[in-house]
Amino acid sequence: MTTFKENTANSATGKLSLAEILQIFAEGGQLPLKFTAYDGSTAGPDDAPLGLDLLTPQATTYLATAPGDLGMARAYVSGGLEMRGVPPGDPYELLKALTEKLQFKRPPARVLANVVRSIGFEHLLPIAPPPQEALPRWRRMAEGLRHSKTRDAEAIHHHYDVSNTFYEWVLGPSMTYTCACYPTADASLEEAQENKYRLVFEKLRLKAGDRLLDVGCGWGGMVRYAAKHGVKTIGVTLSAEQAAWGRQAIIDQGLGEFAEIRHSDYRDVRETQFDAVSSIGLTEHIGVGNYPAYFRFLQSKLRIGGLLLNHTITRHDNRTGAAAGGFIDRYVFPDGELTGSGRIITEAQDVGFEVVHEENLRHHYAMTLRDWCRNLVEHWDEAVEEVGLPTAKVWGLYMAGSRLGFETNVVQLHQILAVKLDANGGNGELPLRPWWNA
């Protein structure tokens, strides 16, 4: 029996349809979904509940000139590629099907040459990406060296200064844009975020009258939680909109005596002798090469016996490169870098911290992203009106894809607890075993 792919490889003369080209690249020629293209061709089961529609020649150019997640994102954000069977605020089921059931392989040279001829050479010339895309890394030099204060501020602005109203719809009342910690499988997002702050607070052994520095404080969730318990807290963020929202929340909740949020770089904090430092979701923006300076700075802010809680997304190993993939770097976290928890622990230890505990919360982050996507779906029409359809689609794609990444152990979420020792190795008489409730 002769397969379609064999016929194509043997003759390699006729012009291929777009659906035939997709089948050539698909392992076994089988698709887990229905594919349609603007040239009238189709592939995949007619009764498939999920599908992809290629609508424009521009989308073909995006896919051909940037194979992988970046090209797909460009085609999707521009409106030239549509997903069927899933809401745009949560395309998780389609992304899962593509990941689990669709494998790509490189065809023989003769077939590949015919693919190129069939697509048309004009589609192999790069075109301008959608306006939602950040500049490539090499062109960001105009904003300063990577992880300079100026360039970090621009990267944070790109991601966080979207719209506070948009974030309220996605994140919920807590305005917490970091991994929650679910006390039970059926806990709500708000319960889980409150539980996360409780866990951080207890790990840091904070009590009324203590002083806390929260670097990369976001909208001030940890700042307000600690202030409600009588802890004098300074939070810093590079996002002007986050700072404004957080300051108003402090006023509204009557926490001005204990809480302060600054719109500044964490490196500009001058105060020292804090009882604790929390870094919740900042390390991803630091840059791996800057870890030594980062941990030295945080250590310099602490008193002897003071504790650091570093909460960050990590790689699943310590070998994978730090740079983010094309889609994440250009649409979500410009200049973001991830590494393994082992590298982070090593860097903290090498500046003199004693790491006393660490744990992986990756399954909790998958659940957090599930709930954020649910919120986006619920508020989809308002979100589109607030930030525009392309940006709303970026967020649905990013959060659903990230959920899949945490579920499949592509990425993890680690909390690392460390203490500043004295010259003789004293740790401020910490208890012998973990002192917090799980």
Please give the Cα distance from 133 to 135 (Å, whole number).
7
Mean pLDDT of 183-209: 98
Please give the Cα distance from 218 to 333 (Å, whole number).
15
pTM score, two decimals? 0.90
The DSSP symbol for 17 reads: P
Task: Identify the H or E element spanning 34.
Answer: strand 34-37
Nearest Cα residue to 284 out of 245, 248, 323: 323
- Quick one: pLDDT band at residue 144, thresholds 50, 70, 90? low
Whether the per-residue pLDDT at 289 is higher than 60: the answer is: yes
pLDDT at 423: 95
Mean pLDDT of 287-304: 97
- Comparison of pLDDT for 367 and 108, the residue scoring more: 367
Compute how many other C-beta atoms are within 10 angstroms of the C-beta atom of residue 1. 3
The CATH number assigned to the domain with range 149-420 reads 3.40.50.150
Mean pLDDT of 344-348: 98
Residue with tokens 């603007």: 38
Question: Which tokens is 162 given?
Answer: 């979207």
Mean pLDDT taken over the chain: 91
Please give the Cα distance from 139 to 137 (Å, whole number).
5
Please give the Cα distance from 326 to 304 (Å, whole number).
42
Whether the per-residue pLDDT at 43 is higher than 50: the answer is: yes
Query: Amino acid identity, residue 119?
Result: I
What is the per-residue DSSP string for 85-140?
A: SS-TT--HHHHHHHHHH--B-PPPHHHHHHHHHHH-GGGGS--PPPTTSPPPGGGG
pLDDT at 121: 85
- How would you classify the pairing of strands 42-43 and 353-360? unpaired
Nearest Cα residue to 14 out of 115, 97, 84: 115
Whether the per-residue pLDDT at 3 is higher than 50: the answer is: no
Asked whether 55 and 39 are in contact (CB, 8 A), the reply is no
Please give the Cα distance from 182 to 187 (Å, whole number).
6
pLDDT at 4: 40
Residue with tokens 């152990």: 409
Mean pLDDT of 410-436: 96
Compute how many other C-beta atoms are within 10 angstroms of the C-beta atom of residue 281. 19
Asked whether 377 and 56 are in contact (CB, 8 A), the reply is no
Whether the per-residue pLDDT at 149 is higher than 90: the answer is: no
Please give the Cα distance from 31 to 45 (Å, whole number).
8
pLDDT at 32: 84
Cα angle value 89/361/222 (rounded, 5°):
80
- Quick one: pLDDT band at residue 104, thresholds 50, 70, 90? confident
- Quick one: pLDDT band at residue 13, thresholds 50, 70, 90? very low
Whether the per-residue pLDDT at 354 is higher than 90: the answer is: yes
Q: Give span(s): CATH 3.40.50.150, the chain.
A: 149-420
* Range with the poorest average pLDDT among 33-37, 99-103, 404-408, 427-431: 99-103
Whether the per-residue pLDDT at 67 is higher than 90: the answer is: no
Whether the per-residue pLDDT at 162 is higher than 90: the answer is: no
Note the pLDDT tens digit of each residue in 203-228: 999 999 999 999 999 999 999 999 99
Whether the per-residue pLDDT at 7 is higher than 50: the answer is: no
pLDDT at 147: 53
Whether the per-residue pLDDT at 55 is higher than 60: the answer is: yes
pLDDT at 10: 39
What is the per-residue DSSP string for 236-277?
A: EES-HHHHHHHHHHHHHTT-TTTEEEEES-GGG-----EEEE
- How would you classify the pairing of strands 302-315 and 411-420? antiparallel
Please give the Cα distance from 230 to 123 (Å, whole number).
62
Please give the Cα distance from 350 to 353 (Å, whole number).
7
Nearest Cα residue to 282 out of 159, 133, 108, 107: 159
